[in-house]
Amino acid sequence: MKMAILMSDGCASISVSAALEAFNMANALYCHSRQLDEPLFELFTASPDGNAVPCTGGLQLVPQYSLADLPPADLVMVPGYMFNVLRVLPTLDNLYDWLRRVHAQGSALASLCTGAFINAEAGLLDGRQATTHWAFAGQFARRYPKVQLHAERTLTEDGHVYCSGGANSGGDLLLHLIRKYGSPQLAADCGKHLLIDGTQQTQLPYASASFKKQHGDGDILNVQLWLERHLHESIVIEQLAEQFNIGQRHLIRRFKDATGHTPIHYLQNLRLERARLLLESSDSAFDQITLQVGYDDHNSFRRLFKQRVGLTPSEYRKKFQCLMPLGALQ
């Protein structure tokens, strides 16, 4: 199987190197197990003009081909760009045209992390299911409303178009491709050698809530700051509206216009973020944490936590606890 791994200015070098390492590992294990010399995956690298490209972190990658000279590929992999992605989008018109052409000719497409923006910009994700790094999900959804975004998922597959979520979940996609185009056993062996679990199906445990404050509504900003200071208390929206001398319906509308959330949803996010921090940085029992973040009903907050974070509190603590003193975070 012929696989082309793209690179262009500003891409994340880890996307390119991770793909090369994973598929080379698959080739090594495949050849060893079958006593063969011919690899399963034939790998090519290419940049738009064939020249070396500067990547994130100051590294420079040298491709084998330009797009014009690249041999036909069964699958084309688009790297991630992390925080560069919105800056580089206007510079890649030639790449979009090329991706549309090779996909129409039968090449499957895969994107790592924010590489989904590249395929979406080319119109190749319209009407399809997709995912991307959770931190860019809001921008992606606004920019590409025709795409069926599932930002909570680590990978998607829709009509030979594949996407992965945040950086490390690219490993899940690489194993998925090895499983699909190689075998389940080969993917399992690669996972063991590369120390990639491949079972994480959601980005929710890694996603932080957004608390938008640069919106220009001073009254709502004051409400937000008050909620942060008093989230451990019992808060009733009607009383909150009276305190700030804003009608309840008017407060809800203005708050949502400013932050993107209703006051109740925003308060839930604040409490969940505080609970996550306490689970990561203390050994307090979850029942105690529940009270510290303003909930009386431990069971209902536990259900909310699992629903919104994707893990139970105990699973989350096991995965992320570092037991740093809280003072170290201040």
The alpha carbon dihedral of 144, 149, 155, 160 has a sign of negative
State residue 324's pLDDT score.
42
Calculate the average pLDDT of the chain. 86
User: Who contacts 119 (Cβ-Cβ below 8 Å, separation ≥6)?
Assistant: 78, 99, 109, 111, 125, 130, 161, 163
Distant-in-sequence contacts of 169-176, Cβ < 8 A, 24+ apart: 169/113, 169/200, 169/203, 170/15, 170/18, 170/19, 170/80, 170/112, 170/113, 171/18, 171/22, 171/196, 171/198, 172/196, 172/198, 172/200, 173/110, 173/112, 174/18, 174/19, 174/22, 174/23, 175/22
Topology of the domain comprising 218-329: Arc Repressor Mutant, subunit A (1.10.10)
Closest CA to 119 of 166, 160, 153, 83: 160
Closest CA to 124 of 154, 92, 152: 92
Convert the pLDDT of each residue in 4-56 to its tens digit. 999 998 898 888 988 999 999 998 988 888 888 888 899 999 999 999 999 87
State residue 45's pLDDT score.
95
User: For the chain, where are the alpha helices, taking DSSP H only?
Assistant: 13-34, 85-88, 93-104, 116-121, 137-143, 170-181, 184-194, 218-230, 237-243, 248-259, 263-281, 286-292, 298-309, 313-320
- Does residue 133 carry a pLDDT above 70? yes
Confidence of residue 327 (pLDDT cuts 50, 70, 90): very low
What is the pLDDT averaged over residues 140-146? 91
Tokens of 124: 């190749």
What is the pLDDT averaged over residues 171-178? 84
Topology of the domain comprising 2-204: Rossmann fold (3.40.50)
Question: What is the share, in percent, of the chain residues with pLDDT greater than 70?
Answer: 91
Convert the pLDDT of each residue in 201-259 to its tens digit. 555 555 556 677 778 888 998 898 899 889 999 999 999 999 999 999 999 999 999 98
Range(s) within the chain of domains with CATH label 1.10.10.60:
218-329
What's the Rg (C-alpha) of the chain?
A: 23
199 burial via Cβ count (<10 Å: 0-12, 13-18, 19+):
exposed
Quote the CA–CA distance of 301 and 258 in Å, as a whole number: 26
Quote the CA–CA distance of 305 and 288 in Å, as a whole number: 15
More confident: 285 or 198: 285
State residue 101's pLDDT score.
93
Convert the pLDDT of each residue in 83-96 to its tens digit. 888 888 999 988 99
Closest CA to 70 of 46, 87, 92: 46
Tokens of 116: 């989904």
Range(s) within the chain of domains with CATH label 3.40.50.880:
2-204
State residue 190's pLDDT score.
83
State residue 325's pLDDT score.
42
State residue 199's pLDDT score.
53
- Does residue 329 carry a pLDDT above 50? no
- Report angle CA 196, 80, 17 to the nearest 5 degrees: 55
Confidence of residue 73 (pLDDT cuts 50, 70, 90): very high
